[in-house]
Amino acid sequence: MARKILVTGACSQLGRVVEVLLKLQEDTEVVALPQAELDILDAPAVLATVEEIKPAVIINCAGFNDVIAAEKRLATKLSINTRGGCNLAQAASQFKAYLCTFSSKFVFNGKKDQPYIEDDDFWPINQYGTSMHGGEEMISNLLDNYLIIRSDLLYGGGNDFVSQIQRALKVGDQFAVSDDFMIAPTYIGDLAAAMVALSSKWAAGVYHYTNDAGDDGISCYEFAQVVAELSDLDASLLKPTPINDMDFDTPLSMPHRAILSIEKFREMFPALVRPWREALTVYIEK
């Protein structure tokens, strides 16, 4: 009997990639619903949908991830990370489904000298991180059978950091980029593959997944330089700028060095962890 999987937020770039990868699996039936067909903020609709479809697995790809806009207290959008997750968890609990969702390194404050492991204490320092923390807490309090994958700066579709750099440099604009905010940039296709792999093993609890940038990560400036190099664009237009001097159009606290340990994931799927530069090269040159 095929394992039925409900994908929410299927209109997102991440949702589309997850859907494609799931459909490559044998004995899997995928029901992928965009927000227009299922708004996870609508609790009755979530319950009714899960009751009708009766999925064994729910993979949630809906979420609000604009860190700067989140700081402007766009409460109606941020609630998709908290109340939306809660609605899915309640439905998963009632109908005995396994719930999988995504979270972020922004649940940490970035002051730890070593990479963060899955069990480290939460300490979000901005609105986005607080919303992701809230969603995690609601899910873990309502369910035992859940999977949360935390990740770092994502690229691979839409108005992402890579495309922002490329657009600016192509027209000869100077582009300010932080030289002291450390990241483990992650290709969205690799993150989707990690979710599919973990969910296929019914992995439970919290896992971290990023492309491998070492224990210290790389700066956004270093990442931007490589984007320019691989895109044959002028890296001299990049302006290295301390994160505290960046113009975010709103006061914003950022976790300077919140690098996630990926050893727990690597132990299960070593072949699915690749260096950040390799992943970026494949993405830009494809």
Which three-class secondary structure string do you get for 230-258? HCCCCHHHEEEECHHHCCCCCCCCCCCCC
Q: What angle do CA 17, 20, 25 make, to 5 degrees?
A: 130
Answer yes or no: is 22 within a domain: yes
Q: Residue 50 sits in which domain range?
A: 3-157+186-212+260-273
Answer yes or no: is 166 within a domain: no
Answer yes or no: is 131 within a domain: yes
Q: Cα–Cα distance between 184 and 72 in angstroms, integer?
A: 25
Residue-level pLDDT at 246: 86
Backbone angles phi, psi at 167, to 5 degrees: -60, -45
- Do 179 and 239 contact (CB within 8 A), yes or no? no
Are β-strands 3-8 and 57-60 bridged in parallel, bridged antiparallel, or unpaired? parallel
Number of independent structural domains in the chain = 1
Residue-level pLDDT at 17: 96
Answer yes or no: is 163 within a domain: no
Answer yes or no: is 47 within a domain: yes
Taking each helix axis from N to C terminus, what angle separates 220-230 and 161-170, rounded to the nearest 10 degrees?
Answer: 60
Residue with tokens 């027209």: 171
Answer yes or no: is 283 within a domain: no
Residue-level pLDDT at 75: 54
Answer yes or no: is 264 within a domain: yes
Strand runs (DSSP E) across the chain, as ranges? Answer: 3-8, 28-33, 57-60, 98-104, 146-151, 154-155, 175-178, 182-183, 186-187, 205-208, 218-219, 238-241
Answer yes or no: is 76 within a domain: yes
CATH number of the structural domain spanning residue 38? 3.40.50.720
Give this prediction's pTM.
Answer: 0.95
**Along the 286 residues of the chain, how does pLDDT read in single tens digits?**
689 999 999 999 999 999 999 999 989 999 999 999 999 999 999 999 999 999 999 999 999 888 888 887 665 677 889 999 999 999 999 999 999 999 999 999 999 999 999 999 999 999 999 999 999 999 999 999 999 999 999 999 778 999 999 999 999 999 999 999 999 999 999 999 999 999 999 999 999 999 999 999 999 999 999 999 999 999 999 999 999 988 887 788 999 999 999 999 999 999 999 999 999 999 998 7
Residue-level pLDDT at 196: 97
